[in-house]
């Protein structure tokens, strides 16, 4: 435990010594480059202390002595900053003290931390007393830092002690394990000799068992092959019988399907005939509609002719009314009554002309729609004629299908008789094959039982042989591992 703490302290000494050496080098460099920089007593003591510390580390003097010298150097450096002749810098001084206290905490030693904390408190308070200024807040922060570092040192030291105890326990366990391995190594040598003798005897037994197993296997293979052949024949006969049953069932299903389909064809033929009659009726109706629409179109032309005559009469009446109005104007007072009549006649002629135009427009729309109807009726007439042709073709197809299904029914009826004859023959063959297979299976079962017993014995010997080989290999590996430990 002491060795581990001493090693840790030695590492911290080297780190702080390296940092202090760099600090001393910086001070010397500033002294050379800056003539205004003056070397105080604390700087001289600090540089001298750094040199002494390096000598102590080189000579490998006690780590405690080296630690004390390193911490003393930090005191010199801190005093130089606090009691600087150029003036007291509160921020720089407090930061220097905090760094120095943190450096002393690296040793994880509560006593060392408290001693250094007390020293730096005295230095900081003395400097402020000399200046008649005491910054309580800075002092409280410094005390808080020291308190936090105290707990870090306390817990860190406990962790180091725990780790050292675990290391000691592990070392004791390793010693115990080494003794156990030595005992195992001594017993392994004698075990290897016993395993070698046992392995030799099992090898001889294995060879004898293999030879006996080979002989029994040859006999069994012949019997099993014969039994398998007979069983295969019996299975094939059963499969054929099943196939014949399936074919018979399929033929019955096919006959029923054919009968249903034939009935569907008959029904379809009747529906096609009925559809053909309906198409004839539709064709007659479409033809009548075509004639009616054509007559309507002709009547529209006659009406247009009459309206044209009425329009001409209205125009002539309008001209006569205009002439009458002119004559009435010439007649003066005596022609006023005639002028009123002429005006009414003119208005009536204009109304007649407008009415004729509206009727003509309506008749024009009716005529356009009549033309569209005429075109659609003509297309419907063509479609009904094509439908009659297609219906005749479908009817002819149904007649052919009906003839085909009649032939299929006849073929299915012939297949029924042939399938029944073949099924009877295969049933007789299957009965004979089953009787032969039963005798062969009994013989095969007895032979397989002998082979199974022989195989079990051989497998047991093989397992024992492999187990002894594994034990031998494990023992050899164990013997090879033990000297290395």
Greater model confidence, 430 or 54 = 54
Q: pLDDT for 37-63, tens place per residue?
A: 666 788 888 888 899 999 998 888 888
Q: How far apart are CA 105 and CA 76, in angstroms?
A: 18
The SS3 assignment for 1 reads: coil
Q: What is the per-residue pLDDT across 460-470, written as a single tens digit (0 to 9) for each?
A: 777 877 877 78
Tens-place pLDDT, residues 105-132:
888 888 888 888 888 888 888 877 777 6
45 SS3 class: helix
Pairwise CA distance, residues 451 & 377, whole Å: 95
SS3 label, residue 53: helix
pLDDT of residue 85: 60
CA distance 483 to 485: 5
Question: Binning pLDDT at 50, 70 and 90, where does residue 36 land?
Answer: low
What per-residue confidence (pLDDT) applies to 146?
A: 85
CA–CA distances in Å: residue 170 to residues 167, 176, 177, 367, 370: 5, 10, 10, 118, 116
Contacts 24+ apart (CB under 8 A), 345-348: 345/317, 345/320, 345/321, 346/317, 346/318, 346/321, 346/322, 348/317
Task: Write down the pLDDT at residue 220.
Answer: 60
Quick: pLDDT tens for 188-234: 677 677 767 767 776 776 776 677 667 657 646 765 665 676 577 56
**pLDDT tier for residue 270 given thresholds of 50, 70 and 90:** confident
Answer whether residue 95 shows pLDDT above 80: yes
Tokens of 79: 């005093």
E-only strand ranges, 246-383: none
The residues spanned by each domain of the chain are 2-158, 219-476
pLDDT of residue 237: 65
| Residue 39: per-residue pLDDT | 66
* pLDDT at residue 191 in the model: 64
Per-residue CA distances from 227 to 219, 222, 314, 445 (Å): 13, 9, 121, 9
CB 391 within 8 A of CB 275: yes
Tokens 């570092």 identify what position? 149
Confidence of residue 437 (pLDDT cuts 50, 70, 90): low
Question: Looking at residue 82, what is its pLDDT?
Answer: 77
Q: Residue written as tokens 């009747």?
A: 270
More confident residue, 263 or 432: 263
Give dist(CA 66, CA 48) in Å, integer: 14
Q: Does domain 219-476 have CATH number 2.170.120.12?
A: no
- The C-alpha atoms of residue 10 and residue 112 are separated, in whole angstroms, by 15
Rounded to 5 degrees, φ, ψ at 296 are -65, -40
Largest CA distance in the chain: 171
Q: For residues 310 and 468, what is the distance between their CA atoms, to the nearest angstrom?
A: 134
Write down the pLDDT at residue 215.
63
């Amino acid at each position: 435990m002491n060795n581990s703490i001493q090693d840790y302290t030695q590492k911290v000494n080297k780190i702080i010594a390296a940092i202090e050496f760099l600090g001393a080098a910086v001070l010397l460099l500033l002294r050379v480059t800056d003539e205004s920089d003056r070397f105080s007593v604390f700087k001289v003591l600090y540089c001298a202390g750094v040199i002494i510390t390096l000598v102590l580390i080189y000579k490998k003097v006690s780590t405690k002595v080296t630690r004390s010298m390193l911490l003393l150097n930090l005191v010199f450096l801190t005093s130089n900053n606090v009691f600087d002749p150029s003036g007291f810098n509160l921020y720089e001084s407090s930061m220097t003290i905090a760094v120095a206290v943190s450096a002393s905490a690296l040793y994880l030693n509560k006593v060392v931390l408290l001693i250094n904390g007390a020293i730096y408190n005295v230095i900081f308070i003395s400097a402020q007393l000399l200046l008649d200024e005491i910054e309580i807040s800075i002092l409280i922060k410094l005390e808080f830092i020291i308190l936090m570092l105290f707990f870090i040192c306390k817990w860190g030291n406990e962790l180091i002690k725990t780790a050292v105890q675990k290391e000691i326990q592990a070392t004791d366990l390793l010693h115990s394990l080494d003794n156990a391995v030595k005992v195992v190594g001594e017993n392994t040598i004698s075990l290897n000799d016993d395993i070698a003798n046992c392995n030799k005897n099992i090898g001889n037994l294995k060879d004898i068992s293999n030879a006996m197993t080979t002989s029994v296997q040859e006999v069994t293979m012949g019997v099993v092959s014969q039994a398998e052949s007979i069983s295969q024949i019996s299975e094939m006969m059963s499969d054929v019988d099943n196939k014949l049953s399936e074919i018979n069932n399929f033929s019955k299903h096919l006959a029923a399907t054919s009968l249903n389909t034939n009935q569907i064809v008959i029904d379809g033929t009747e529906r096609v005939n009925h559809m053909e009659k309906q198409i004839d009726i539709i064709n007659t109706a479409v033809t009548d509609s075509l004639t009616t629409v054509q007559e309507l179109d002709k009547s529209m032309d006659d009406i247009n002719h009459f309206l044209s005559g009425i329009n001409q009469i209205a125009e002539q009446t309008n001209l006569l009314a205009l002439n009458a109005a002119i004559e009435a104007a010439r007649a003066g007072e005596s022609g006023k009554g005639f002028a009123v009549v002429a005006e009414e006649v003119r208005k009536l002629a204009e109304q007649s002309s407008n009415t004729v135009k509206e009727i003509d427009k309506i008749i024009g729309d009716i005529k356009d729609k009549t033309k569209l109807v005429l075109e659609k009726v003509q297309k419907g007439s063509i479609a009904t004629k094509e439908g009659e042709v297609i219906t005749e073709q479908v009817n002819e197809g149904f007649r052919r299908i009906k003839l085909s299904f009649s032939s299929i029914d006849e073929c299915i009826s012939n297949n029924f008789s042939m399938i029944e004859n073949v099924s009877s023959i295969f049933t007789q063959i299957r009965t004979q094959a089953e009787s032969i297979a039963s005798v062969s299976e009994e013989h095969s079962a007895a032979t397989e039982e002998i082979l199974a017993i022989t195989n079990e014995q051989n497998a047991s010997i093989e397992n024992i042989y492999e187990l002894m080989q594994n034990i031998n290999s494990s023992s050899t590996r164990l013997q090879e591992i033990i000297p290395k430990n």
